[in-house]
Amino acid sequence: MGFIQDVKEEINIIRERDPAIHSNWEVFLYPSFKAVMMYRTAHKWYLKGHYFWARWLSQKAVRKTGIEIHPGAQIGKGLFIDHGSGVIIGETTIIGDNCTLYQGVTLGGTGKEQGKRHPTLGNNVMVSAGAKVLGSFTIGDNCKIGAGSVVLQEVPPNCTVVGIPGRIVKREKQNVPQEDLDHGHLPDPVHEDIDTLEMQELELGKRMDSLEKELEELKKALKLTAAKDI
């Protein structure tokens, strides 16, 4: 794919996923556009063995955009980084097509692995603001990672993951359309657990009231029986 085609593709991606944009010219101001375009060039240099110059260009992109993409990372088509400040993508990261990352996302390693050290993201994956995906495992197609989550193990396709450590709170056997990737409306497992505990407490309270009434009735029955015996 030529440079002009790459530019057109990035313009379409950003316009499609960011409602705040009003014209094609604004795309050239976007950190995501600059970071991804510079990554594409740095990655080509990296594949040719020009490691120093590839890293030089990627570090230049960091200074300009606040987005750090190692030139060794393998990134498919349609990556969109919204806002982007603080995003880090490690060397052995693999990202599929049509993925979306928000600010503060880290696709990193744990420091305990050799070789493939960073995560693999499938197609149509959304990683919300501040989420950390750490380690060499796969996040399946059509998954959502909630804001602030820390994911440390593999996630099957079509799942929603939230929390620290991240856990699956939703799993569906259907694709997640891009327009449904709303990282502001994801399940809250802590709130759900509290709701469950409140319901259990309410049920226990009702049961205790019932038992107390039965006990009072039993006491009255015993008193009547004792009075008749006398």
pTM over 0.75: no
Residues 6+ apart with CB under 8 A from 92: 72, 73, 109, 115, 116, 117, 118, 136
For 4, list phi and psi in degrees, rounded to 5: -60, -40
Amino acid at 124: N
How far apart, in Å, are the Cα atoms of 51 and each of 54, 57, 87, 95, 171? Answer: 5, 10, 21, 21, 41
Q: Which of 120, 123, 130 is nearest to 82 (CA)?
A: 130
Residue range 19-55, pLDDT digits in tens: 677 777 777 777 888 888 899 889 999 999 999 999 9
Overall size of the chain counted in residues: 230
Residue range 140-189, pLDDT digits in tens: 999 999 888 899 989 899 888 888 888 888 887 544 444 444 555 555 66
Question: Cβ-count burial of 43 within 10 angstroms (0-12 exposed, 13-18 middle, 19+ buried)?
Answer: buried
